[in-house]
Amino acid sequence: MLRTRVRNRRIAAIGCSETNVRFRSVPEWRASKERILRVEIGARGECSTARVESCAGQIEIHHIGYERHSASSRDYIFVTGAAMKAIPRYSFALAALTIALGAQVHAQVSQQTLNTLSTPSRVETRIGPLDFKDGAPSAETVQKVRDTLDFTRGLDAFLNSYGGASAYAIRQGFRSIGANDNSVVIFPQLLDSNSLFLTGNTDTVYYIAVVDLTKGPMVVEQPPKGVGTINDMWFQWIIDIGFPGPDRGEGGRYLIVPPGYDGPLPDSGFHVARSRTTRVLYACRGYLENNDPKPIVDLIRKTMKIYPYTPGGYGTSIATALEGKVRLAANPPVPETTFVDGSAKVFNTIPPSDFSFFEMINAAIQQEPADSYNPELAGQLAAIGIVKGKPFNPDARMRKTLTDAAAVGNAAGRVLNWRANEVPGWSYYPGSGWTNFLWQGGANFETPPPELTREGFFKPFPPTGARTLDSKTAFYYAYTLDSPGMIMRLPDVGSQYLIGFLDADKNYLDGGKTYKVTLPPNIPARAFWSLILYDNQTRSMLQTPQRYPRAGSQSYPSPAAEASADGSTTVYLGPTQPAGVKRGNWIQTMPGKGWWVILRLYSPLEPFFTKQWRLSEIEAVK
């Protein structure tokens, strides 16, 4: 058998079965004065049996077809055949064949198919006309497409790295008030509207720390009665702490291990968790006791500890040391924890929405391992010049492109939040303006949170394998930290949230108008509930003469809301306190300032999950 491949409608040579295959150009064939025979190709690229004569003998062609050479990405025609009579080994016969292809070669591919593969000389697109000469892009087209690719990758980088920028901004905000790594920012008077903090609450005592792992594993002694989580510096969940964590509210030692650490670890005595970043965000909250924050604040100050782990110390048995991999050691005295009071202080923990966003992300990239985030995000950042270990120095064109990307990314975060009710599945009740997008993909933005069976087991949904990108964007734009405990179908544990950006007529909320929300009797919160207002611009608590823009069942830090005779509770939201309305049932707004609201249910009860209980829409008071 013989086989040869040809480009440009010519077969360069055909060898025979008794010889090595040789290739020769058409001019060389002409010089040899060998004879050829025309080959007719059928509609499907095949030919009937044909003979080709050469000086050495006759060749029978069996098949003509097509293939693509993977290395060169070139198309070839191949011919398969056999010698019709024996040819002496010493002759090394060579023949050449010119195939009259023309339109016949393409007869196996329809014109419709060719049209879908071909590029017209001009294509109208959303970025303007794209011009080509026989498929080759013009200089103007090259620039348009490159600008578009840079913009697209910049936009993707903005949306997909917002959590990392937010974590970095929290650390910067803490440092601005003197809270260095391994110190704890605590809010004894609760968080208020003075600081810029994405959707913080005024209901619980926050205590938050950035823990530095650059020198090795760190121990966090968790106080009892906490509810919280530990995230890495990309807001990737590491482990829950307190009631949703393995200590189940009893308190305990957590050992946080840095990336790349292969040293000794304890046999027991610690809840061990590994981080992909060299710093982590520890965030916890404690509940008031009898409307008083002091008891939980005192407990936190007494029991909260952060210090380096001692290999071979507590948690390591002598039997383990006998294996020769760790030396027994005595634990040094635990250092005093540094607490920084964040109450009433003015500081910012929110990333910017202009070009400086990318400068902040570059700073975050430089301080963390290159593999601490996923390769797709790393590729998006690298495409716009943000690479671990390299300077970020975009030229004027790239700065303009990234400025535009940040503007569109910022707009995307706002569209997905303010119009969350228009996304299928995000409204909590049919047709409602109350939303929660986390039910779509859960805390990992992929698969909805599991169902709880009657037997008390969780029944996970099958993995979707697809990231819910819009809910991920919406969440990190307006909220912080990530935890499975934030979105679970488990009554009487944790907290649940409903978010309102629109009134009953699906209009934005106006600070110069008065609205009301009615919560029916038996509000499904065993612990307590609250409504808190947020500023449209900062996504932080709305700043008004009321330091705490909230209403709720607790009487601290502002009077508790009072129920009506029928058991329902109506809260008014407007610039002035309506006549006859108690102070605890009114949250102040500001004319000219847009706002939105979050309902929080702490230790939510079954009627919330079954949706038997439903609060009213946000209704404008006429």
Instruction: List, in order, residues 6 or more apart from 323 with CB less than 8 Å away.
Output: none
3-state secondary structure of 221: strand
Distance CA 141, CA 144 (A): 5
Distance CA 286, CA 267 (A): 30
Integer angstrom CA distances of residue 453 from 418, 460, 493:
34, 10, 16
What does the DSSP assignment read for 55-118?
A: TTEEEEEEEEEEEEETTTTEEEEEEEEEESS---GGG---EEEE---GGGGGGGS-HHHHHHHS
pLDDT of amino acid 255: 98
Identity (one letter) of the amino acid at 301? R
> Which residues pair with residue 307 across a beta bridge?
219
Which pair of tokens denotes residue 445? 């933005």
pLDDT of amino acid 486: 81
Distance CA 112, CA 116 (A): 6
- Region for 456 from its dihedrals, namely left if φ exceeds 0, alpha if ψ lies in -120 to 50, beta otherwise: left
* Domain definitions of the chain by residue range: 2-112, 144-176+351-416, 178-341, 420-620
pTM for the predicted model, two decimal places: 0.83
Contact between 496 and 601 under an 8 Å Cβ cutoff? The reply is: yes
Task: Map 343-380 to HEC letters.
Answer: CCCCCECCCCCCCHHHHHHHHHHHHCCCCCCCHHHHHH
Q: Judge whether 178-341 and 420-620 match in fold.
A: no
Which pair of tokens denotes residue 267? 């046999």
Reference 477, options 425, 534, 396, 428; nearest CA is 534
3-state secondary structure of 495: strand
pLDDT of amino acid 489: 87
The rounded average pLDDT for each run of 10 residues, N- to C-terminus, in the chain (622 residues) is 38 33 36 37 38 41 46 46 37 35 53 91 97 97 98 98 98 98 98 98 98 98 97 97 96 98 97 98 98 98 98 97 95 96 98 98 97 94 98 98 98 98 96 95 93 90 95 97 88 93 98 98 98 98 98 98 98 98 98 98 96 98 93
Q: What are the two backbone dihedrals, phi and then psi, of residue 365, each rounded to the nearest 5 degrees?
A: -60, -40
pLDDT of amino acid 67: 46
Compute CA 413 distance to the chain's CA centroid, rounded to the nearest angstrom: 13
Fold adopted by 178-341: Immunoglobulin-like (2.60.40)
- Answer yes or no: CATH 1.10.3360.10 is held by domain 144-176+351-416: yes
- CATH superfamily assigned to domain 420-620: Domain of unknown function DUF1214, C-terminal domain (2.60.120.600)
